[in-house]
Structure 1
Amino acid sequence: MSDPKQTISDMIDPARGRAMQASLGQIPDLGAGDALPPFFHQLYFWEPQTPEMLGRDGHPKVGGVIPDMGLPRRMWAGGRLEFHAPLRAGEPAKRLTYKENSERKTGRSGPLGFVALRHEIWQGDRLCVTDWQDLVYREDPDPNAPPSTPKMARTDEDICETRSFDTTLLFRYSALTFNGHRIHYDVDYAKEIEGYAGLVVHGPLLAQLLMLLAERELGTLKTFAFRATAPLMHFEAAELCWKVDGSAWVRGPDGRQCMEAKAG
């Protein structure tokens, strides 16, 4: 096995977990020794950088773990997770990051850069979570390009829950995950530079909500995979959809599919 590209240690502070619970509208009751809800490890293992080490989008500059492929727009396209053991609040942990793949291709919309990372979350000698992260890098949008036609979401769900988003939730989620990506809080940048209609709801936030829905229906999760398919704006309500076979998706107000997922 190759050596990790990065290792970050952190204390799994229960207060940060309670802040996320409150932000999501849950009772903030996480205490020391409790198992974290699935995907809450996103709140930890920050990598703070000084301002000169940031790119124009607010993310750390590429060229370290993530290679520079000359493409300015970053998107978290999806990922998959395996939950091996409970990650406990109030205990130290470490995250090992491996680069599994990086390549540049040409798609219908132009050049694309793909980066696949694998994160392992350990407490002591116990592997708790394996988290694969798929990133896509693109060119700036062409204002003359015709709008893409999004895929329409399924309508055969067994459970459908409507969820609204506002700038406060997006700010709190960005702060708790130490995500400086400006598309989530700088509306002028999101519109004028990256070509969105408004602030973009974080893909991992949508995945987090689907994971909590899946955990409620299935109990403790063993696996979860998700893929972002269309952006959701902060002024749009979304429908979180669940099927008893473990499939889940996010449906936008116009019926488009914003995310698809599978839980096990």
Structure 2
Amino acid sequence: MTVQTSSTQSLTDILDPARARALQATLGMEQTIESGSTLPPFFHHIYFWDPQPPENLGRDGHPALGGFLPDMGLPRRMWAAGRLLFHANLRAGVQADKVSNIEGVTRKTGRSGPLAFVRVRHDIRQRGTVVLSEWQDLVYREDDGETPERPTARTDETHSQTVEFDRTTLFRYSALTFNGHRIHYDRPYARRVEKYDDLVVHGPLLAQHLMLMGEAQLGKPLTEVTYRATAPLCEPQSATLCWADGAAWVRGPKGEQCMEAVMR
């Protein structure tokens, strides 16, 4: 169910354990989640779909701008950064309610041209209690602009692991998150319109891998995560997930830093 005003959106979902097991399979994890299980961190992104008919979609496959998300007059948009506070366990098989609010809209000019930033806050409740608060920073850009410089990743990790990304993985993650953004499956669009080298690995998919690694390294449930995308990772590629004392990052195949995060 969806309830929406110009700056607030409310969604309700029952967190189907079968969908969570499908994500575990996609990530190469053992399929263990049943009704009542605690969901791993960031798994809430496969829930709270807001499906729209074709006539309500923009050229990029996302819902058209001008509804809940404002139209900033810039055609390209991407998820740039995020922050999460984990207050309590999110349980599979239980109804959850998500309320989203636009917290801020700013404009500036960068090296790549005009930019606009939209900050969205999400609060998820189960059984009347807020279990998760999340902030998403979205960035809007024009079509023609200078490609941002790709930073070089650190090499001082104390733990690392390699993850392979291919078209099947991108397809399955898009399906599970109901993400229609064409940069993840439409190669001509990704290259010709949004000027990427190839199909783009989802930023949230990179963040998902980092959080699973971070929780394993900390040896306890996460309480807070901040992360920022710094360069696109394009398919077919492998990436190295890196960890050192609460910091995590994704190093691409050419040594570029694709994402950085801090966890506790």
Fold conserved between structures, TM > 0.5 = yes
Q: TM-score, normalised by structure 1?
A: 0.96
How many residues get paired? 258
- Give the Cα separation in 2 of the matches to 1:197 and 1:97: 33
Partners of 2:76 and 2:204 in 1: how far apart?
A: 17
Which residue number corresponds to residue 173 of structure 1?
Answer: 173
Q: Paired residue for 1:189? A: 189
Inter-partner Cα distance in structure 1 for 2:111 and 2:93? 47
In the alignment, what sits opposite 2:74? Answer: 71
Distance 1:212 1:135 in 2: 23
3-state secondary structure, aligned to 2:183: helix
Superposed displacement of residue 65, structure 1: 1.7
Deviations 1:50-69 (A, max 9, x none): 00100000000111221111
**Unmatched runs of 5 consecutive residues or more in structure 1:** none
User: What is aligned with 1:231?
Assistant: 232
Distance, in Å, in 2 between the alignment partners of 1:11 and 1:141 is: 42
Shift of 1:102: 0.9
Equivalent residue, structure 2, for 1:105: 108
Whole-Å separation in 1 of the counterparts to 2:36 and 2:252: 37
Match of 2:3 in 1: none
- Structure 2 alignment gaps of length 5 or more: 1-5
Could you say which residue in structure 1 is the equivalent of 2:163?
163
User: Partner residue of 1:46?
Assistant: 49
- Asked if the contact 1:4/1:96 (under 8 Å) is kept, the reply is no
Distance in 2, matches of 1:215 and 1:126, equals: 23
2:251 counterpart of 1:248:
no
Equivalent in the alignment of 1:213: 213
SS class of match (2:45): helix
Moved over 4 A (4+): none
Counterpart CA distance in 2 for 1:63 and 1:79 is 22
Larger mean Cα displacement after TM superposition, 161-170 or 102-111: 102-111
Other structure's SS at 2:165 match: coil
Matched, 1:222 2:223: yes
Q: Name the amino acid aligned to 1:58.
A: G
- Match in the other structure for 2:60: 57
Q: CA RMSD in A?
A: 1.2
2: CA distance, partners of 1:139 / 1:169: 28
- Residue 4 of structure 1 and its aligned partner are, at CA, apart by 6.8
Residue in 2 that maps onto 1:95: 98
SS at match of 1:35: coil
Is the contact made by 2:112 and 2:148 (CA closer than 8 Å) also made in structure 1? no
For residues 57-95 of structure 1, the C-alpha deviation after alignment (integer angstroms, 9 at most, x for no partner) is 000011122111111111100101000000100110010
* 3-state SS in 1 of match to 2:259: strand
Matched, 1:23 2:26: yes
Any idea what the Cα deviations from partners look like across 1:184-221, whole Å, max 9, x if unmatched?
A: 00001000100011000000000000000011111100
Measure the CA separation in 1 of the matches of 2:39 and 2:149: 38
Per-residue Cα deviation, 1:35-62 (whole angstroms, up to 9, x for no partner): 0000000010000000010000000011
Which letter maps to 1:230? A
Contact 2:111 2:148 (8 Å CA) reproduced: no
Is residue 242–residue 249 contact of structure 1 (8 Å, CA) maintained in 2? yes
1:148 shift after superposition:
4.2
Distance (whole Å) between structure 2 residues aligned to residue 114 and residue 223 of structure 1 = 22
Instruction: Give distance in 2, aligned partners of 1:188 and 1:44.
Output: 29
Paired amino acid for 1:150: R
Scaled by the length of structure 2, what TM-score is found? 0.96
